[in-house]
A and B are shown apart, each in its own frame.
Chain A
């Protein structure tokens, strides 16, 4: 049972345009959400997070949006750069006091120069 889903396995975007990566979850107990980027032969790198009390968090070119009623979050990258080409994972955790970070299946982003 995949509690965190990324329904698009891949996405191609032109350099300079906006990349939008989506993530859906089923567990209403999830309270904290994160996005990671992963290059081949490296571990996932933390990008940005959001807690359930917010609906938006922004850090430079990266913005995460959370829609709790729809159990949906998205990552916006603008402008997209070729160096952003990687696999992106969303992750979620059901509140403090637990260590069970659950990862989505990943979306491979390719930014075309």
Chain B
């Protein structure tokens, strides 16, 4: 069982839809991440929240909007996506940036944009 929980597991949405991906962790980690992974490619960093504040935005288009309501929750709001945004979206957490600690990933949300 993964300690990082992502919902939904699968999502199909049209280009005009608005949807949200959710992520939850209860390990007391203070850093949370969104990664995007396309087939046969490595995970690609999108956003990092540290102590509930946005720390890194890797020049992600504004149709992706992250939110960190509290230290355990991380959301990714989606609006007006393109078919090329179809991918596996992975949430991860780590202790914080001041110690070496591994990322703990959820099982991802498989997103298909039609």
B99 and A99 contact, CB distance less than 8 A: no
Complex: A102 Cα to B43 Cα, angstroms:
8
Q: How far is the CB of B67 from chain A (nearest CB, A)?
A: 17
Residues of A within 8 A of B33 (CB): 99, 101
Contact with A along B85-114 (1 / 0, CB 8 A): 000001010100111101111111010000
- Which residue numbers of B lie inside 8 Å of A, CB to CB? 2, 4, 6, 31, 33, 40-45, 48, 50, 55-56, 90, 92, 94, 97-100, 102-108, 110
Q: Which residues of B contact A44 (CB under 8 A)?
A: 43, 90, 103, 105
Per the bound structure, the CA–CA distance linking A14 and B100 in Å amounts to: 34
Residues from chain B with Cβ under 8 Å of A45 in the complex: 105
Chain A contributes a number of interface residues (CB within 8 A of B) equal to: 27
A65 at interface by CB-CB < 8 Å: no
CB pair B56 A46 closer than 8 Å: no
Partner of B99, one of A43, A89, A96: A96
Q: A34-B102, A44-B105 are in contact. List 20 more A-B contacts (CB 8 A).
A: A4-B42, A34-B103, A36-B105, A43-B4, A43-B107, A44-B90, A46-B104, A49-B100, A49-B102, A93-B100, A96-B100, A97-B97, A99-B50, A99-B55, A101-B45, A102-B45, A103-B42, A105-B42, A106-B41, A106-B42
Q: Residues of A at under 8 Å CB distance from B?
A: 4, 31-32, 34, 36, 41-46, 49, 51, 89, 91, 93, 96-106
